[in-house]
Amino acid sequence: MDIIKSSRDNLPVLQLKGRFDAHEVEPVNAWLAEHTGKGEARIIVNLEGMNFIDSTALSTLVRGLKNCRERNGDLHICSLQQPVRVIFELTRLDKAFDIFPTEEEAAKGF
C-alpha cells in the first residue's frame, strides 16, 4: 500500500492506495495518533486508488473517527472506489462516516 501525507486548507490528509489490510495498519495508526491526539482533530482520509480494505483496517479508521469525535472533530473519508464503497456499505460503515466524492468537498464539509 502506498501512503501519501499532505494537507488541504490546513487540514491533514492521508491518502492510501492499494490494499489496506492488517499488514498495513501500523503507519496509519501512527499518523492517526499524531493527528487525533491534540486540539480539535479534523482530518481527511483519501481512499482514491484503494481497491481492498479488510476488517482490521476498517477498525483502524473507526478508532480514528472515534478519537476525532471525542475531541469535537471529525474524520472525513473521500474518493471511494467502487469495491471499497461496496465494502463500506456491506459493513454499514457508510452510515458511521461522512463520505465525500472528492478531497475538496471533504475539506469543505467541516
Binding span for another protein by CB under 8 A among 18-26, 35-43, 67-75, 97-105: 18-26
In the block, cell 469495491 appears at 83
CA 27/CA 44 separation, integer angstroms:
16
Q: x/- string (CB under 8 A) for another protein, residues 25-64? A: --------------------------xxxxxx-x------
Q: What is the 3-state secondary structure (H, E, C) of 8-66?
A: ECCEEEEEEEEEECHHHHHHHHHHHHHHHCCCCCEEEEECCCEEEECHHHHHHHHHHHH
Q: Taking the complex as a whole, how short is the minimal distance between the CB of residue 42 and another protein, in angstroms?
A: 27
Figure out which of the listed residues 44, 68, 87, 107 binds another protein, where binding follows CB under 8 A.
Answer: 87
Q: Taking the complex as a whole, how short is the minimal distance between the CB of residue 81 and another protein, in angstroms?
A: 8
Nearer to another protein, 10 or 82 (CB): 82
The answer to the question of residue 2 lying near another protein (CB under 8 A) is no
Closest C-alpha among 64, 57, 48 to residue 96:
64
CA 2/CA 36 separation, integer angstroms:
21
Note the residues at the interface with another protein (CB under 8 A). 19, 21-23, 51-56, 58, 81-83, 85-87, 89-91
